[in-house]
C-alpha cells in the first residue's frame, strides 16, 4: 500500500487524539487540525503536505475509494486554491474557489475529514458499504 497508505491508517489510529475546527469563509473553508501528541502532529503535517503535492502533480491518491468526496476533488484539482501553514501542533489550511459547486465540494470534503477525526475508521467503512447517497 506504500508509505502514504500507512500514514492514513496511523491517522485513524490517532483519531481520538486529534482535534479540528472548520470555519466557513467566503469561497471555502479555513480548517485547523492539531494533536497534543507530537507523533499525531507530525502525521497530520506529513499527510496534508504529501496529499497536496499529489494533487499538484496529479499523482494517484492512496485509498481514494474509501472517501466519498475525494474522487470529485482530484478531478477538480486545478479549480480550487489550497494554502497550507504548519502550526506548532499540526496544520492550518485554507481552501477556496470561485465556482459555487467547487465551494460546496470543498466544504463537503472538510466535513468528511471532520467525521474521520470524530468517528475514526468505522464511519468510512459504513459509508463505503451503503454508498454515498445521502
Residue 30 interacts with ligand HEM (CB under 6 A)? no
- One of 15, 19, 72, 107 touching ligand HEM (CB under 6 A): 15
- One of 8, 41, 68, 103 touching ligand HEM (CB under 6 A): 8
Residue with grid cell 481552501, as numbered in its chain: 95
Handedness of CA 91, 122, 56, 22 (dihedral sign): negative
Q: How far is CA 25 from CA 57, 84, 94, 112, in A?
A: 26, 15, 9, 17
Closer residue to ligand HEM (CB): 18 or 134: 18
What is the x/- site pattern for ligand HEM, positions 102-131, by CB under 6 A? -------xx--x--xx--------------
Torsion-angle region of 110 (φ positive above 0: left; ψ -120 to 50: alpha; else: beta): alpha
Query: Applying CB under 6 A, what is the total number of residues that bind ligand HEM?
Result: 28
Minimum distance between the CB of residue 58 and ligand HEM, rounded to whole angstroms? 12
Are 94 and 28 in contact by the 8 Å Cβ rule? The answer is: yes
- One of 68, 70, 103, 105 touching ligand HEM (CB under 6 A): 70
CB within 8 A of 27, min separation 6: which ones? 96, 97, 98, 103
Residue 94 interacts with ligand HEM (CB under 6 A)? no
Residue 72 interacts with ligand HEM (CB under 6 A)? no
Amino acid at each position: 500500500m506504500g508509505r502514504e497508505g500507512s500514514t492514513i491508517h496511523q491517522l485513524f489510529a490517532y483519531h481520538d487524539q486529534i482535534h479540528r475546527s472548520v470555519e466557513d469563509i467566503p469561497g471555502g473553508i479555513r480548517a485547523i487540525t492539531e494533536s497534543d501528541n507530537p507523533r499525531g502532529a507530525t502525521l497530520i503535517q506529513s499527510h496534508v503536505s504529501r496529499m497536496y503535492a499529489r494533487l499538484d502533480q496529479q499523482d494517484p491518491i492512496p485509498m481514494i475509494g474509501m472517501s466519498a468526496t475525494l474522487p470529485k476533488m482530484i478531478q477538480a484539482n486545478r479549480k480550487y486554491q489550497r494554502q497550507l501553514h504548519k502550526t506548532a501542533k499540526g496544520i492550518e489550511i485554507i481552501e477556496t474557489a470561485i465556482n459555487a459547486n467547487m465551494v460546496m465540494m470543498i466544504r463537503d470534503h472538510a466535513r468528511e475529514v471532520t467525521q474521520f477525526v470524530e468517528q475514526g475508521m468505522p464511519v468510512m467503512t459504513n459509508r463505503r458499504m451503503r454508498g454515498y447517497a445521502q
